[in-house]
Amino acid sequence: MSTDRNVQPKPGLDAEERSAKVAVTLFPLLVLAGGAIALLTPETFSGFSKAINPLLMIIMFGMGLTLTLPDFALVVRKPLPVLLGVVAQYVIMPLLGLGISMLLQLPPALAAGVILVGCAPGGTASNVVTYLAKGDVALSVTMTSISTLLAPIFTPLLTLWLAGQYLPVDAGSMAKSIVQIVLIPVVLGLVLRVLLPRVVAKVLPALPWVSVIAITGVVLIVVAGSAAAIFSAGLLILLAVILHNAGGIALGYGTAKLFKQPIATRRTMAIEVGMQNSGLASGLAKTYFTPEAALPGAVFSVWHNLSGAVIAAIWRRSSAKNAEREAAEAELAAK
* Residue 2 in domain: no
For residue 202, being part of any structural domain is answered with yes
- Looking at residue 59, its pLDDT comes to 85
| pLDDT score of 83 | 92
> How confident is the model at residue 140, as a pLDDT?
87
The domain that contains 64 carries what CATH number? 1.20.1530.20
How many C-beta neighbours within 10 Å does residue 59 have?
A: 31
Cα dist. 199→138, 141, 161, 208 in Å?
23, 21, 43, 16
Determine the structural domain holding residue 190 and report its residue range.
15-309
CA–chain centroid gap for 240, Å, is 17
Q: Is residue 256 part of a domain?
A: yes
Phi and psi (nearest 5°) for 122? -60, 155
Contact 271, 249 (CB under 8 A): yes
For 249, residues 6+ apart whose C-beta sits below 8 A from its C-beta are: 270, 271, 273, 274, 307, 311
Q: Which residues contact 131 (CB under 8 A, 6 or more apart)?
A: 5, 7, 9, 17, 21, 137, 140
Give the pLDDT confidence score for residue 26 in this predicted structure.
73
Which pLDDT value is given to residue 104? 95
Query: What is the per-residue pLDDT for 60?
Result: 85
Give the integer Cα–Cα distance in Å for 47 and 41.
12
Amino acid 9: pLDDT? 42
Residue 327 counted as domain residue: no
pLDDT at position 321 is 65
Half-sphere exposure of 165 (CA within 13 A, CB side): 9
What is the mean pLDDT, run by run of 10 residues, along the chain of 335 residues?
A: 42 54 69 81 80 87 82 82 92 96 94 95 82 84 90 95 91 93 90 89 81 82 78 86 96 94 94 90 89 88 82 80 56 59
β partners of residue 16 = none
Q: What is the total count of domains within the chain?
A: 1
CA angle 202, 146, 80 (to 5 degrees): 120
